[in-house]
Each structure stands twice: as structure tokens, then as C-alpha cells.
Amino acid sequence: MSSPELVLRVLRTQLRAAGITYKMLAERIGMSESSVKRMFGQHDMSLSRLALICKASGIAMEDVLRGAADITPHADTLTLIQEKSLIAHPRLLLVAICCLGHWSLEQVVETYALTQAECIGYLAELDRLGLIELKPLNRYSLRVSNAFHWLADGPVQQYFREYVVADYFSGHFDGAGETLMCIPARLSLSSAQELVQKIRQLAEELARLHQSDRRLAPQERDGFTLLLGFRSWEFAAFTALRRSPAAALHAAPAASYQTGPRNR
């Protein structure tokens, strides 16, 4: 589906939400109802016409364009080559992560020791790599979906394991909106797969909240990171305390007698 179709789909949805019919819209912009219907049906609308309709309807044109961008199909991951290019230059990776968080050029330069020229250069490189589409006035839009994730065991995840995980878990996790849980369980494979699906749903919910809170002022938001992992695992120090197979076999009858049901 092309961009004009997406824009008109979002506009139609917002008009419906505002209770504005084609007839009402036609009266407000000085067109016939049939012409308005044809314009939407043929997906034929100039930018100036879109601006006129938004103004007449009390709908923010920026919200329409952003809504269309949000539903445009994009890739969920980068390629192996793209990820390798990012980790080859840690500052480029930093700017990439900022872009995934929808930071503006001004916010990046104010926060980190990068000049504006350097940051623009990194944005241009990210455009070349296909992570963003660089636009006039150094604005950009993402070329990846809201469900974006790094390649499993790819270069970026390997980089995070080596340099980021220890730093992340060195915190106390006791601030407002923070938590840390380590919950062991014995599950069947089907139950484990069900939980993985719920974890994916949680990631989708985080993406939805992230998208929704973009409307707030920068000072009303803070940077949060959700680090999820779920695997069949036992702490090595605990594994070292496991009985040998022979010892476990010898201890089995006693364990069964102590924990099993009593004979009646």
C-alpha cells in the first residue's frame, strides 16, 4: 500500500472519530459531497488539500502524517551487515539507539559530547544503512517497525552481553517504575512457548506506550530499558552442587519415601 493510501486511511479514521461525515466535510471546504467521496476513493489528494481538510476538521495534520508513518510496513530487524556497521563505531550505535527512542538532533547534541556536524554525519550514515530516512532540517523517520528487535545472537546482542549487561544489572532497581525479578520454574515445553508469546506481547505493549508518550514534553519522559531473557538455565554454582548420576540413583528410594504418597 502506498503512502497516499495510508495517509487517507488515517485521515478517514480521524474524521470518523470526530463525527465528521463526507457531507459535512464538503460543506466546510466548499466542495460537493460526490467530489469529496471521489477524492478519498481514488486516493487523489494534494498536500495543500490535506492541510485544508485538517484545518476545517480541527485535526492536526502532523497527527495524520505520523499515524500514516506508524502503520507503514517496515522491517523488524536489520541485516547482519547493518548490525556489524553499527558496532564498528560505538558513537554511531549510540545515535542509532537515540533514533530508536525518537530523540531529536538537538536532544542528542545537548546530552552527549557530539557536535552538531558529527551528529548530522551519523544520521546520514544511519540513512545509508537503512535504519532511518533523513529529512529536511535534520529530521528523520524510522525505517524499522515498532516491533523492531536486534538479531538473536547477532553482533549488537553480542556487544550488549560483553559491555552492557553487567552495567545494567549493577543498578539497585529500586527507583520509581523499576523492578527486578528472577523467578525459577519447572515447565513443559508448551508452557515455556506460551510464556515466550506473552513476553512478545509485553514488548509490543512497551512499544505502544513508547509511541503514545511521544506526545508528551521531553521533560515528562525518562529513558527506561526493558531487558528480557528466558531460557533453560541453572546457575553454575548450583550445578556444581548437583549429585552425580550414581549418587542420585542411590538417593532416589529415600527421596521417594520422604516426598511420595504414603502407602495405606
The C-alpha cell that represents 79 in the structure block: 541485516
The conformational region for residue 233 under phi > 0 = left, psi -120 to 50 = alpha, else beta, is beta
Q: pTM of the predicted model, to two decimals? A: 0.59
pLDDT of residue 255: 43
d(CA 33, CA 47): 20
Give every CB contact of residue 178 below 8 A, 6+ residues apart in sequence.
171
- Contact status, residue 133 vs residue 141, Cβ threshold 8 Å: yes
- Contact status, residue 152 vs residue 159, Cβ threshold 8 Å: no
pLDDT of 155 above 80:
yes
- Contact status, residue 4 vs residue 43, Cβ threshold 8 Å: yes
Q: Give the C-alpha distances (Å, rounded to integers) separating 224 from 117, 169, 209.
A: 28, 13, 12
Q: Which whole number is the average pLDDT over 96-109? A: 91
d(CA 244, CA 233): 18
Identify the band that residue 65 occupies on the pLDDT scale cut at 50, 70 and 90. Answer: confident
Q: Which whole number is the average pLDDT over 172-186? A: 92
The C-alpha cell that represents 148 in the structure block: 523492531
pLDDT of 152 above 70:
yes
φ/ψ (deg, to 5) at 92: -65, -40
pLDDT of 257 above 50:
no
d(CA 157, CA 89): 15
